[in-house]
Structure formats: structure tokens, C-alpha cells
């Protein structure tokens, strides 16, 4: 799941995948809360699941863990 999300983020943000680790914060990527909502909506479509985020997700790893908990 990390690779899929990392690839998606790199494509959306026009950056190298190498710049994205599990510890990378969305703030450091220049992603705001509206961007996060849009990304989650895209992931919902791609994965065919509903992702209702009820807490703040600050890092790529937190997003990966959250998505994995909903997909499995």
C-alpha cells in the first residue's frame, strides 16, 4: 500500500518518489487539508472503499496505516 500511495503522491505533486518516506509529513510536501481531502477521495475511487478520516493524519505513514486498516 505504501508504494501505491507514494506513487500517487509523487504523480499528484510532481515530485520524485524518492522524496517520500513513511515519515514524510504532508506539511513538508506543501499539502494542505483541502488537498488531503481530495487525495482521500481519489484513493476511495481507486481502492473501492469508503475512507472517513476522523482524525488528523500528518504523515504518509499514518495515511498508509489508516488506508490499510480500512481495506483489510
Active site residues: 32
Task: Give the long-range contacts of residues 43-48, CB within 8 A, separation 24 or more.
Answer: 43/5, 43/8, 43/67, 46/8, 47/71
Task: For cell 482521500, name the residue.
Answer: 40
Amino acid at each position: 500500500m505504501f508504494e501505491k500511495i507514494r506513487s500517487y503522491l509523487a504523480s499528484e505533486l510532481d515530485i520524485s518518489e524518492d522524496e517520500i518516506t513513511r515519515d514524510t509529513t504532508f506539511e513538508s510536501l506543501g499539502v494542505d487539508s483541502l488537498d488531503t481531502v481530495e487525495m482521500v477521495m481519489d484513493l476511495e475511487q481507486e481502492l473501492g472503499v469508503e475512507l472517513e478520516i476522523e482524525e488528523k493524519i500528518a504523515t504518509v505513514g499514518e495515511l498508509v496505516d489508516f488506508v490499510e486498516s480500512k481495506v483489510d
